Chains A and B, each alone.
Chain A
Amino acid sequence: MPSPPAKLNPALISALVVLCVAAIALTLCITPDSLSVNLVYQAF
């Protein structure tokens, strides 16, 4: 297991958080109906 970081660059962590928020926002823009039906039919 990697050792805990001594110091993480705050700019990198901020960029990571922004990207994660963007990914979640896009996911929420897709209707939950679509996702659930696709999962049911394994359409992925």
Chain B
Amino acid sequence: MFPAVWSNKHAVALIVVIATLLSLPVLMHVVGLPPRGSVYSGIRVETGTGPQDEFTIFEEKGPVDILFVGSSLLVRGVDRDYIQQQLSAQLGRPARVRYLALKWQGLDMQYMLMRDFLEHHAAGMVIMNMPTDALIGDSPHIQAYRWMRWGEFPQSTAGLAMRERLAIYGAEVLGAPRQIVNYIRPNRLVTDPAMVAKLGSQSDYGAVGYFGGPFVPEPRTPPAFAPASMIAQGAGDANFDFHGKPLGPYHQYWARKIGDLVKQYHVPFAMLHIPEDTEKGSITVPERMYWPEVMGVPDAPVIGLPSATLFHSTPSAEVDNYYYDQHFNDNGREFFTRAVTPTILQLFSQEAHAQPAR
């Protein structure tokens, strides 16, 4: 049989290789990490919005009025340009609305995006979509190995349990070889602004039918709802159900860290529920937990519309035409955004009025 180790020299070589790979995140920190501005564009473009996140955080200058932070549900659920247009009309000046998102859910990811942004820009208001049942497990975000780098924000992970810190370190080991390439050949594979915008909006999904079916254009003007009716009035609000499956300790930790960011930067903060296809007919807005309490920001509003209310004038058989899977296609994105925009604008005028974007 061919021996696994055939000499002491071979054993030493294997030890050096494995030890180097396992300690690479630490070694890179000691040597000096590549610029953080290149971490998000290291994410494969097929997986979404990394290049746009990098552009919005590290290249674009100046404050924004409203920053949305979330997952792909947010990208496909919020029509940024529409809200920007409406906010511009309300403010009487060009407004700036941006979003930061990555595919798949995870509050560690949302914390990191929000933190990176607020370290470089002022925001008049931050709005986040919170994890749904699509967030399975309680471990680092699927793309964490791209943007978590050892020793970078030590205070951020200091309160995690050893098991969770080991999981993060495992992700960092996985990502370190790719991070090393940044020393030689920085990321920034996508330099075409139009391509960045296209990837960032995931517009390829705009005119796609439900789970591969034909795309059917639907009315995109929703019924009018009173703005205040979309904001939860505490944990017992009859339009909301805050008693879903609780997040595990790992993601609850990051929820608290997001709350800490809100307090540290004194930025007005709200949460927005984006309905998924499985909510069809639901008379309440399903949330896994009562987020203001979990995050330690008791006054933060939660915005949401029960699916049955949003689509009350839409025939049941046609509701699926607003989705391409659990995400909205362009029918749903425009319909939903138009429904919630008055509430967002009202909150902005109340919460962010005293703190204009600098």
Contacts and interface: CB of A to CB of B under 8 A. Distances in A.
Interface of A: 1-5, 8-9, 12-13, 15-16, 19-20, 22-23, 25-27, 29-31, 33-34, 37-38, 41-44
A17 B166 CA distance: 19
Contact of A42 (B15, B44, B141, B163): B44
Contacts of A34: 139-142, 144, 171
Contact of B163 (A2, A29, A43): A29
Contact of A41 (B5, B44, B173, B174): B44
Interface string B41-52: 001101100000
Interface string B1-36: 011011110111011001101100000000000000
Contacts of B21: 23
Contact of A43 (B3, B11, B47, B139): B47
B104 A37 contact: yes
Nearest to A22: B22
Contacts of A33: 136-137, 139, 142
A5 B18 contact: no
Contacts of A13: 5, 11
Interface string B137-155: 1011111100000000000
A37 B22 contact: no
Given A23-B18, A43-B143, A9 B137 contact: no
B160 interface: no
Identify the 5 closest CB pairs spanning chains A and B, nearest first. Answer: A31-B139, A26-B170, A12-B11, A2-B6, A29-B167
Contacts, number: 87
Contacts of B139: 29-31, 33-34
Contacts of B11: 8-9, 12-13, 15-16
A30 to B, nearest CB: 4
Q: Is the interface of B mostly helix, strand, loop or mixed?
A: helix
B40 interface: no
B18 A43 contact: no
B8 A30 contact: no
Contacts of A19: 15, 18-19, 22
**Chain B interface category by residue count:** 35 or more
Interface string B83-121: 000000000000000000000100000000000000000
Interface in B38-88: 43-44, 46-47
18 contacts: A2-B7, A3-B6, A4-B3, A4-B6, A12-B8, A12-B12, A16-B5, A25-B166, A26-B22, A29-B166, A30-B139, A30-B140, A31-B137, A34-B140, A34-B141, A38-B142, A42-B44, A43-B47
Contacts of B2: 1
A16 B173 CA distance: 18
A37 B142 contact: yes
Interface string B150-184: 00000000000001001101110110001000000
Nearest to B16: A19
B38 to A, nearest CB: 17
Nearest to B138: A31
B325 to A, nearest CB: 15
Contact of A15 (B7, B15, B178): B15
